[in-house]
């Protein structure tokens, strides 16, 4: 059980750190909302721990140690870590899921860039779809088809975030737009970062990302009907609120450099009401065969990790474990070099 004081701290972290998730969580039942807020607080603070620190390699390595301690039942003395440890114990959270998130943060730490959508889906699987799979575990849903659709929703949300934050990311020296798309538009990564402008080609890339996100939002919807009825309004709310961010970018002509897409409190209230209606309708409307579509290749390992009756997929097992060890070895080398005042070899 999560201690009341730790739970209060998690609620406060989400209230200030993620307005969209906080709004959507209000429609979840208490039995799911509290562990979901604890989970999301740990994930959010983990992201901030890397994003806001100059020594990103050391930050990720500290997160790895925090995860080790949480799974050993000996969390560091911090509310989010204690709450997350309680979630691990109460719900038997598969370790592969938070490890996937940590891997995505490690990719951020080493400045990984992505050539095309496949690479971007790989990244989104780790930093967002893994959270969707963990949410399913909290709701007691371990069905492979429902997990696949939850992962679709996670990837769609991350693509929306990337489309919204092109300018902010460029300001911090980050690029998530596929580098092949930049090359096709006659731009290099360095030239874009030196002078990020909402040109027609850049707007076209943002539009393309949002189109992919919308496809995945629609693909995710049949999975909501596999969730407990009391949980459906909250998940529909997350879907509509995040898609609404994409809608704001769309209405601004796909310019997410000179302006950051936001939604209003009134819009959020409207989407919460729509979500309650859609949850009710999901009990009487016929299901869609899209529910049974295979998972994205990039998220299949998450479904494999979380499902009660997994379907063996490519890319899981020793190969993934080796990749995780490799990225941590790279971070440790960077951290040693930084501590010793030596520039890492290229």
Q: What is the DSSP string of 102-135?
A: HHHHHHHHTT---SSHHHHHHHHIIIIIHHHHHH
Give the pLDDT confidence of 215-226 residue by residue, as tens digits.
Answer: 999 999 999 999
How far, in Å, CA of 124 to CA of 151, rounded?
9
- Residue 272 is assigned to a structural domain of this protein: yes
Amino acid 318: pLDDT:
42
CATH number for position 295: 1.10.600.10
- Residue 33 is assigned to a structural domain of this protein: no
Residue 127 — φ and ψ, nearest 5°?
-85, -10
- Residue 149 is assigned to a structural domain of this protein: yes
How far, in Å, CA of 318 to CA of 330, rounded?
18
The contacts of residue 94 (CB under 8 Å, 6+ apart) are: 137, 305, 306
Amino acid 346: pLDDT:
35
The whole-number average pLDDT for the span 117-131 is: 96
User: Does 256 have pLDDT greater than 50?
Assistant: yes
Identify the sign of the CA torsion 191, 192, 194, 199. positive
Say what the alpha-carbon torsion angle 314, 315, 321, 326 is, to the nearest 10 degrees. Answer: 150
- Helices 144-164 and 200-224 sit at what angle, rounded to 10 degrees? 160
- Residue 70 is assigned to a structural domain of this protein: no
Banded model confidence at residue 333, pLDDT cuts 50, 70, 90: confident
- Residue 153 is assigned to a structural domain of this protein: yes
DSSP 170: H
By mean pLDDT, which of 58-62, 169-173, 180-184 is the weakest?
58-62
User: Does 164 have pLDDT greater than 80?
Assistant: yes
- Residue 3 is assigned to a structural domain of this protein: no
- Residue 54 is assigned to a structural domain of this protein: no
Burial of 167 from C-beta contacts in 10 A (0-12 / 13-18 / 19+):
middle
By mean pLDDT, which of 12-26, 69-83, 259-273, 302-316 is the weakest?
302-316
* Structural domain range at position 125: 100-339
- Residue 138 is assigned to a structural domain of this protein: yes
Banded model confidence at residue 344, pLDDT cuts 50, 70, 90: very low
The count of domains in the chain is 1
Three-class secondary structure of residue 95 per DSSP = coil
By mean pLDDT, which of 47-61, 70-84, 243-257, 292-306 is the weakest?
47-61
User: Does 155 have pLDDT greater than 80?
Assistant: yes
The whole-number average pLDDT for the span 293-302 is: 96
In this prediction the pTM is: 0.89
- Mean pLDDT computed over every residue of the chain: 90
Whole-angstrom Cα Rg for the chain: 20
């Amino acid at each position: 059980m999560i201690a009341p004081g730790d739970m209060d701290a998690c609620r406060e972290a989400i209230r200030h750190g993620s307005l969209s998730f906080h709004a959507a969580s209000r429609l979840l039942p208490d039995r799911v909302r509290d562990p979901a807020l604890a989970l999301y607080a740990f994930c959010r603070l983990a992201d901030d721990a890397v994003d806001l620190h100059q020594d990103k390699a050391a930050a990720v390595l500290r997160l790895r140690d925090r995860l080790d301690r949480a799974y050993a039942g000996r969390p560091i003395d911090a509310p989010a870590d204690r709450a997350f440890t309680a979630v691990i114990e109460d719900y038997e959270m598969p370790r592969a899921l938070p490890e996937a998130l940590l891997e995505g943060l490690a990719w951020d730490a080493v400045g990984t860039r992505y050539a095309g959508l496949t690479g971007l889906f790989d990244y989104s699987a780790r930093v967002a779809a893994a959270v969707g799979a963990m949410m399913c575990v909290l709701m007691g849903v371990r069905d492979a088809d429902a997990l696949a659709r939850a992962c679709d929703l996670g990837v769609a949300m991350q693509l929306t975030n990337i489309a919204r934050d092109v300018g902010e990311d460029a300001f911090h020296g980050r690029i998530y737009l596929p580098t092949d798309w930049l090359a096709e538009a006659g731009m290099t990564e360095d030239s874009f970062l030196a002078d990020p402008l909402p040109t027609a080609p850049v707007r076209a890339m943002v539009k393309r990302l949002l189109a992919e996100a919308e496809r995945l939002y629609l693909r995710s919807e049949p999975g909501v009907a596999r969730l407990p009825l009391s949980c459906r309004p909250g998940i529909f709310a997350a879907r509509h609120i995040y898609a609404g961010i994409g809608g704001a970018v769309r209405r601004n002509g796909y310019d997410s450099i000179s302006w950051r897409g936001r939604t209003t409190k009134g819009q959020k209230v409207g989407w919460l009401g729509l979500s309650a209606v859609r949850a009710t309708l999901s009990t009487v409307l016929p299901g869609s065969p899209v529910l049974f579509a295979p998972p994205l290749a990039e998220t299949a390992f998450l479904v494999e990790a979380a499902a009660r009756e997994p379907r063996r997929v490519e890319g899981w097992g020793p190969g993934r474990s080796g990749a995780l060890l490799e990225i941590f070895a790279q971070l440790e080398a960077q951290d040693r070099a930084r501590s010793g005042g030596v520039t890492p070899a290229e």
